[in-house]
Amino acid sequence: MSELYEEALRNMASWFDVLSRQLSAPARVKLNGSYTFRFAEKNVHVAIILKLARVITGLQAIFHLNRLGLVQEQAAIQRVADELTEDVSFLTFSVIFNDPTEVHSRFLEAFFQEEFEEGKTAIESTQKRLMIPRKKIHAYINKDRRAGDDPSCGREVSRTISKIYSGYVHAAAPHIMELYFGNPPRFHLEGAWSSPLYKDHVDDMLNYFYRAILAVSFSAKAFGNEDLFQAVFLYSKNFAKRSGGADHLTPYKT
């Protein structure tokens, strides 16, 4: 599976480059006394590409943390990845289905807001970032767009996944105790390859790789790049088949 995952990461990086070139390059700007890069436009397509960048780097982190046996950290990043792929769906669906909402406007406003007010230090700055309730994003993603769908089921799945992995993010005691095992039992801080739960974390990666590939396909569709969309979508089917997990991965259809 490592070879398949490495192939997928290379492909996603290549597809990302194709999409990012459809945007004007970021410009060098002065901000709070130093120089950095920013996109001139602050629109949904820029937001999609930025979120997609973090989807792919997050996937790199998940893959390498698992190799190191750092499964607690892997699971914490997976919690981040859940929100990133949800954000990509939230943004791309507004374009694909021509269904932007007031929530999207507030999301973009918060997303592009600078961390600190211009000319003020971190301590002096009093502005706070607007946070969009995750339940609103879940509700939009799982909106009933096809007859027979049950949007409440999708929302409940999203809520459950979020709850499961939050324990790794916040280091809850039951989750930390997964590091304690062996004969004699001890805390395995150098890597948990011999953990009875290690295989579960290995298997868990498959869903994140598949969802990331779909996030790229949705992004291509939102960018109007139909050739890339079809190529990525076909690859998602090929990836699922080669992984041996085609039966349980979400069977998206065109």
The larger pLDDT score, comparing residue 150 to residue 200, is at: 200
- Kindly report the backbone phi and psi dihedral angles of residue 35, in degrees, each rounded to the nearest multiple of 5, phi listed first: -110, 145
SS3 171: coil
pLDDT band at 124 (very low <50, low <70, confident <90, very high): low
User: What average pLDDT is seen over the chain?
Assistant: 89
Please, which pLDDT band fits residue 44 given cuts at 50, 70 and 90? very high
Does the pLDDT at position 11 exceed 60? yes
148 pLDDT band (50/70/90 cuts)?
Answer: very low
DSSP secondary structure string for all residues of 140-190: HHT---STT--HHHHHHHHHHHHHHHHHHHTT-HHHHGGGEEETTEEE--S
Of 103-107, 178-182, 245-249, which gets the smallest average pLDDT?
Answer: 245-249
Do strands 34-38 and 27-31 pair parallel, antiparallel, or not at all (unpaired)? antiparallel
Tokens in use for 29?
């700007």
What pLDDT is recorded for position 160? Answer: 56
- CB contact set of 73 (below 8 Å; sequence gap of 6+): 65
The domain limits of the chain are 2-243
- Residue 33: its pLDDT value, please? 78
Give the predicted TM-score (pTM) of the model.
Answer: 0.88
